[in-house]
Structure 1
Amino acid sequence: MVAIIKTGNSLRRSFYYNENKVTEGVAECISAGNYPADFDSLSENQRLNMLLKLANLNENVTRNSVHISLNFDPSEQLSKDQLSDIARTYMEKIGFGQQPYLVYQHQDAAHPHIHIVSVKIRPDGTRIETQNIGRNLSEKARKEIELAHGLVRAEDSRQRKVYELKPVNIQRVQYGKSQTKRAIATVLDAILPTYKYASLPELNAVLRQYNVAADRGSEDSRTYKRNGLTYRILDERGNKIGVPIRASDFYNKPTLPYIQQRFELNETTRQPHKARVKNAIDFALLKRSDIDVEKLIQALEKDGIKTVLRQNDKGQIYGITYVDFRTKCVFNGSDLGKQYSAKAMSERCGYQQQQSEKHENTQRQITSPNTNNSGDNTQKNGPLTKVFLESSDKNLGSDNSLDILFQPTFSPDSTPWQLRKSRRRKQQKQSHSL
Structure 2
Amino acid sequence: MVAKIISGKSLIGALNYNENKVHQGKAELIFQSGYAKDLIQLNFNDKLLRLKDLTLRNKRVKTNTVHISLNFSTNERLPPDLLGEIANEYMERIGFGNQPYLVYKHNDAAHPHVHIVSTNIKSSGERISLHNLGSTKSEEARQLLEEKFGLVQAGKNTKSQALDSSALNKVEYGKVDTKRALTNTINAVIKTYRFTSLPELNAVLQSYNVLADRGAKDSRMFASKGLLYWVVDNKGNKIGVPIKASSIYGRPTLKNLEERFKQNEELRKPLVEKLKPIIDGVLMTKASPRGFSQALINKGIQVVFRCNENNYLYGVTYVDHTNKVVCNGSDLGKKYTAAALNKYFQETPNTLPPREGLHSRSTSTGYISGSNTLSPQAPINQNSNKSLIEGLLQPDYSEVSTMRSVLQNRRKKKRKRLSK
On whether the aligned pair clears a TM of 0.5, the verdict is yes
Cα distance 1:127–1:103, how it changes in 2: closer, same or farther (>3 A)? same
Q: Secondary structure at the match of 2:242?
A: strand
Q: String of CA shifts for 1:82-140, please: whole Å, max 9, x gaps.
A: 21122122223333232222111111112222112222222222322323332233333
Could you say what secondary structure the match of 2:273 adopts?
helix
Three-state SS of the structure 1 residue aligned to 2:105 is: strand
**3-state SS of paired residue (2:134):** helix
Alpha-carbon distance change, 282 to 189 in structure 1, aligned in 2, over 3 angstroms: closer
1:368 corresponds in structure 2 to: none
3-state DSSP class of the match of 2:127?
A: coil
Q: Percent identity?
A: 39
Alignment of 1:72-111 (within 5 A): 72-111=72-111
Deviation at 1:27, TM superposition (A): 1.2
Q: 1:136 to 1:300 in 2, by over 3 A?
A: farther
Distance 1:136-1:208 versus aligned 2 partners, 3 A rule? farther
Unaligned runs of 5+ in 1: 174-178, 360-378, 397-404, 406-434
Q: CA deviation at 1:343?
A: 5.5
Q: Distance in 2 between matches of 1:19 and 1:157?
A: 31
Equivalent residue runs for 1:335-374 within 5 Å: 335=331, 338=334, 341=337, 352=344, 356=347, 358=348
Mapped pair 1:389 → 2:390 = no
Q: Is 1:120–2:120 an aligned residue pair?
A: yes
Cα distance in 2 for partners of 1:27, 1:20 equals 9
The 5 A counterparts of 1:27-426 are: 27-154=27-154, 155-158=156-159, 162-164=163-165, 165=167, 166-172=169-175, 180-181=178-179, 183-185=181-183, 187=185, 197-247=195-245, 250=247, 254=251, 258-263=253-258, 265-282=259-276, 284=278, 292-300=292-300, 310-312=306-308, 314-315=310-311, 316=313, 318-322=315-319, 331-335=327-331, 338=334, 341=337, 352=344, 356=347, 358=348, 388-393=372-377
Tell me, in whole angstroms, the C-alpha distance in 2 between the residues paired with 1:106 and 1:323: 34
- Contact conserved, 2:358 with 2:372, CA < 8 A, in 1? no
Structure 1 Cα separation of the partners of residues 372 and 174 of structure 2: 22
Q: TM-score, normalized by length of structure 1?
A: 0.68
3-state SS, counterpart of residue 96 of structure 2:
coil
Rounded Cα–Cα distance in structure 2 between residues aligned with 1:295 and 1:226:
41
Structure 2 alignment gaps of length 5 or more: 286-290, 360-369, 381-395, 397-420
After TM superposition, give the deviation of residue 78 of structure 1 in Å.
0.9
- The CA distance in 1 between the partners of 2:163 and 2:277, in whole Å, is 27
Asked whether the 8 Å contact 1:26–1:106 carries over to 2, the reply is yes
> 2:23 is aligned with what amino acid?
T
Secondary structure of 1:58 counterpart:
coil
AA aligned opposite 2:163: V
Aligned length: 356
CA distance in 2, matches of 1:244, 1:276: 35
**Is this contact kept in 2: 1:18–1:27, CA < 8 A?**
yes
Structure 2 residue aligned with 1:418: none
Alignment partner, residue 26 of structure 1: 26
CA deviation digits over 1:336-388, x for unaligned, max 9? 555665556x59xxx926x51x46xxxxxxxxxxxxxxxxxxx9xxx999884
Q: Amino acid of the residue matched to residue 216 of structure 1?
A: R
Could you tell me how far apart the structure 2 residues matched to 1:14 and 1:395 are? Answer: 43
Q: Any conservation in 2 of the 1:13–1:251 contact (CA below 8 Å)?
A: no
Report the more deviating stretch, 220-229 or 281-290.
Answer: 281-290
**TM superposition shift of 1:13:** 1.6
Q: Given the superposition, is the C-alpha separation of residues 314 and 89 from structure 1 closer, same or farther in structure 2, using an over 3 Å criterion? A: farther
Which residue does the alignment assign to 2:5? Answer: 5
Two-structure CA RMSD over aligned residues (Å): 3.9
